[in-house]
Amino acid sequence: MIREELSEEYGELLFMIEDEFDEAILGVAERIGMESVVAYDTDKIIEILSRDMPEDDALEYFEYNILGAYVGDRTPIYVNTIKINL
């Protein structure tokens, strides 16, 4: 499982409680002088939430309850990926 693999490599990490969001994990972000944190794909989280609610509600839920939640120095980061057509 990805949680165990990342924890073995990086030590103590803070993941979203629901493991259904594991498929949205991009990896681990490292910052100078700060703790490593889990990086999640914003679009994938909204896609997962949209399985149980309309997309507008999923976006609102994400922004308020996930993006807006600070849970300490190990709070995950959320990445907006850019899709480029080459």
pTM: 0.90
Give the span between the Cα atoms of 61 and 76, in whole angstroms: 16
For position 84, what pLDDT does the model report?
77
DSSP state for residue 63 in the 8-state scheme: I
- Per-residue pLDDT tens digits for 9-61: 998 899 998 999 999 999 999 989 999 999 999 999 999 999 999 999 999 99
Residue owning tokens 């120095």? 73
Is 68 a residue whose pLDDT tops 90? yes
